[in-house]
């Protein structure tokens, strides 16, 4: 799988952007627990929010491998910023796939331009992986829907203008769009998380939020089986690539540190145990990238296997990056747990990668079911 000339050029542009605007400031983002508005607007100006949105809606109609390369570089620079690319894209992709013509016309152009920032609100205080059991309720009344409930751990919930909400309607999980300024919607920032501290997470409380019928995405009952499934597949793809980027950051930090640090009269890179750790990182990052490339190739080809291959890529890449981050901290010793080095942030963010957009255990269940169907 070789990248095209255009993809190589795009990757270089993404790398330059991250090196200039993201990586040098990521520790500050983490400490301040926010992504600056200026950076969000700069991403909008570059067109990255609309990279895979069709041209008819103001996007660049890019391919999925190019988008994966963007996510890799963002993950290398700041996992928290990657989550903005992820959740914003999940909303856009859900609308593109399941929204009515009117919904697409109303929102996709604004999402592609970054005029509106989207966020996906699925998880609740009592509901995580069991998405079909959400407790948020939507009642249809007089041509409207009335939403009541609470959503938690919503990445960029503090900043988003538009939320994709999964709620029970007539006893069936259903997807809705909810604007930030809707009366009855309140937001509570979630601070001091273990990782993704700059992801501006929030808890959303809906108290008799009235929305019109044209804010329905798909049909009643499509919320999990169609809309959320499609959004999560996209999210897993971006997270898998982000893990490759974060794995690269771990590898680059380890290579740099071991080439400078002297112990027992020689550079750390000369010690065989260190070489073993470095070797594992190189091999694991390379393997994760190939899995992500495969998933992207299948998505661009419209191959139905892409969902399973995306789960495989996300599972492997997220477990890989936790091991890489642990080894990176170990290589750095006491410096690895110091705020003077970014590797402690890498470890905290890496662990979150195993949880978001379907935990590692959920991916194992999905992959195992596929294995029984495909190979027995």
Per-residue pLDDT tens for 267-295? 999 999 999 999 999 999 999 999 999 99
pLDDT of residue 128: 86
Topology of domain 224-375, per CATH? Butyryl-CoA Dehydrogenase, subunit A; domain 3 (1.20.140)
Q: pLDDT-derived band of residue 376, with 50, 70 and 90 as boundaries?
A: low
Q: Strands of 155-239 (E only): list them.
A: 162-169, 172-179, 185-189, 202-212, 216-217
Could you tell me the pLDDT band of residue 167, with boundaries at 50, 70 and 90? very high
Q: Count the neighbouring beta carbons within 10 Å of the beta carbon of residue 229.
A: 15
Q: Which of 171-175, 248-252, 366-370 has the lowest mean pLDDT?
A: 366-370
Q: Quick check: 251 pLDDT over 80?
A: yes
Count other C-beta atoms under 10 Å from residue 147's C-beta. 25
pLDDT surpasses 70 at 215: yes
Mean pLDDT of 167-183: 97
> What tokens does 121 get?
């609100």
Domain covering 119-220, topology: Butyryl-CoA Dehydrogenase, subunit A; domain 2 (2.40.110)
Given CA atoms 335, 339, 342, 347 in this order, what sign does their dihedral have?
positive
Query: How far apart, in whole angstroms, are the C-alpha atoms of residue 299 and residue 310?
Result: 9
Quote the tokens at residue 174.
């259903």
pLDDT at 131: 86
**Catalytic pick among 72, 73, 309, 357:** 357
Q: What are the φ and ψ backbone dihedral angles of 200, each rounded to 5 degrees?
A: 50, 50
What CA–CA distance (Å, rounded) separates 195 from 342? Answer: 12
Catalytic: 213? no
Crossing angle of helices 5-21/37-46, nearest 10°? 160
- Burial letters 8-42, b for 16+ CB under 10 A, else e: eebbeebbebbeebbbebbbebbeebbbeeebbee
Q: Which fold has domain 5-116?
A: Butyryl-Coa Dehydrogenase, subunit A; domain 1 (1.10.540)
Which stretches of 214-271 are DSSP H helices?
Answer: 229-260
pLDDT per position as a tens digit, 32-45: 999 999 999 999 99
Same fold for the domain at 119-220 and the one at 224-375?
no
Q: Is the pLDDT of residue 375 over 80?
A: no
When the pLDDT of each residue in the chain is averaged and rounded to a whole number, the result is 96
Q: What share of the chain in percent tops pLDDT 90?
A: 95
| Residue ranges covered by each domain of the chain | 5-116, 119-220, 224-375
**Helix 272-301 vs helix 64-77: angle between axes, to the nearest 10 degrees?**
150
C-alpha gyration radius of the chain: 21
Is pLDDT of 374 > 80? no
Q: For residue range 330-352, list pLDDT tens digits in order.
A: 999 999 999 999 999 999 999 99
Q: Give 52-80 pLDDT, tens digit per residue.
A: 999 999 999 999 999 999 999 999 999 99
3-state secondary structure of 186: strand
Say if CB 267 and CB 256 are below 8 A apart.
Answer: no
Give the residue among 356, 368, 354 at the shortest CA–CA distance from 86.
Answer: 356
């Amino acid at each position: 799988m070789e990248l095209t000339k255009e993809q190589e050029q795009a990757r270089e542009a993404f790398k330059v952007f991250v090196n200039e605007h993201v990586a040098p400031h990521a520790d500050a983002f983490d400490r301040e627990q926010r992504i600056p508005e200026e950076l969000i607007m700069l991403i909008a100006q570059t067109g990255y929010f609309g990279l895979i949105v069709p041209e008819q809606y103001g996007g660049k109609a890019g391919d999925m491998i190019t988008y994966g390369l963007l996510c890799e570089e963002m993950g290398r620079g700041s996992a928290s910023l990657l989550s903005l690319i992820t959740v914003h894209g999940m909303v856009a992709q859900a609308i593109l796939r399941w929204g009515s013509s009117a919904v697409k016309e109303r929102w996709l152009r604004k999402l592609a331009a970054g005029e509106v920032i989207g966020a996906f609100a699925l998880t609740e205080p009592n509901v995580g992986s069991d998405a079909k059991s959400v407790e948020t309720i939507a009642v249809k009344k007089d041509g409207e829907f009335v939403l009541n409930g609470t959503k938690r751990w919503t990445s960029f919930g503090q900043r988003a203008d538009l939320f994709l909400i999964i709620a029970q309607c007539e006893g069936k999980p259903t997807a809705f769009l909810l604007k930030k300024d809707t009366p009855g919607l309140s937001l509570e920032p979630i601070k001091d998380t273990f990782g993704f501290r700059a992801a501006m997470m929030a808890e959303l409380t809906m108290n008799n939020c009235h929305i019109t019928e044209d804010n329905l995405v798909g049909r009643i009952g499509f919320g999990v089986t169609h809309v959320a499934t499609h959004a999560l597949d996209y999210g897993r793809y971006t997270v898998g690539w982000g893990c490759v980027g974060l794995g690269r950051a771990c590898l680059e930090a380890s290579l740099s540190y071991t080439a400078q640090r002297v112990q027992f009269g020689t550079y750390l890179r000369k010690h065989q145990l260190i070489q073993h750790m470095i070797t594992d990182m190189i091999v694991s990052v390379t393997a994760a990238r190939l899995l992500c490339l495969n998933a992207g190739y299948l998505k661009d080809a419209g191959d139905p296997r892409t969902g399973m291959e995306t789960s495989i890529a996300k599972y492997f890449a997220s477990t890989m990056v936790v091991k890489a981050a642990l080894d990176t901290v170990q290589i750095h010793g006491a410096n690895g747990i110091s705020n003077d080095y970014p590797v402690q942030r890498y470890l905290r963010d890496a662990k979150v990668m195993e949880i978001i957009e379907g935990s590692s255990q959920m991916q194992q269940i999905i992959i195992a079911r596929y294995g029984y169907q495909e190979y027995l």
